[in-house]
Structure 1
Amino acid sequence: MTPQIDLSADGFSAGTSPGVSLGEQLRRIRKAHGATQVALGLGVGVSTATISMWENGRRHPTGKHMAAVREFFGVLANISPIGAGSLGYDEFMIESRESIAKFVGTSADKIRIMIEI
């Protein structure tokens, strides 16, 4: 099961449990998505060593890199978690589909999103 981590515009928030570091949250979401440090580094435009330093708390990603991390995991920076002030369901799905299509290099009409509850 994917950890419930808030990839909001200001970075990761402690959505997994109190006191979980940004680096640990990044590691958890990366592993939950089956991504390696190499793949995340390539997707974000940094070295594997940088990803390792982020995950171990020796360095922190810049705002630009956090935006790239959000895009890598298919979460738009301008979409807040569902709730007050967020996009409606339809807008959320349209923007998510467009973001995923851009990331994988195809058109949005070829992207299907399935939600399992």
Structure 2
Amino acid sequence: MDQVRRQDISAESFGARLRRLRSAKGITQSEFAAALSVSTAAVCSWEQDRSRPKVSRIHAIAALLSLSTAELLTSGPTGQLHEKLAQSREEIARIAGTTPEKVRIIIEV
């Protein structure tokens, strides 16, 4: 990915990111709404940054898009940090013979 594209993605809003991710999965707004048991108007509002989904829906949206909630909610350097943490958590879990959900990483700055 070139530098310009990386900057575009890191500056995108939640709504723009949601629209991009949904479209990349080939899911229409109507299909997305039906899968989440919400109206198409609600999805449209989210994608236009007029409203945000409830916290309980964030988890369902992330699952539907095959993402972690951190990946859904963050972009740019913060998103890169979450991505690296997720990768590390998976590797540590594999080595320790457990699941990534049971691995906790604490960062002190």
Bin of the TM-score, shorter chain as denominator length: 0.5 to 0.7
Aligned residue type for 2:31: A
**Identical residues among aligned pairs (%):** 29
Q: Which has the larger radius of gyration?
A: 2
Identify the structure with the greater helix proportion. Answer: 2
Distance 1:52 1:84, change over 3 A: closer
Q: Quick check: 1:62 aligned with 2:64?
A: no
Partner of residue 81, structure 1? 83
Gaps of 5+ in 1: 2-13, 96-117
Partner of residue 35, structure 2? 43
Partner of residue 76, structure 2? none
* TM-score, normalising length: structure 1: 0.55
* TM-score, normalising length: structure 2: 0.58
Q: Quick check: 1:53 aligned with 2:55?
A: no
Gaps of 5+ in 2: 2-6, 72-81, 100-109
Distance 1:81 1:50, change over 3 A: same
Q: Quick check: 1:25 aligned with 2:27?
A: no
d(CA) in 1 for partners of 2:85 and 2:9? 18
Encode CA deviations 1:20-51: one digit per residue, 9 max, x unaligned: 11111100111111110011111112111100
Structure 1 residue runs of 4+, over 2 Å off? 75-87, 89-92
d(CA) in 1 for partners of 2:70 and 2:16? 23
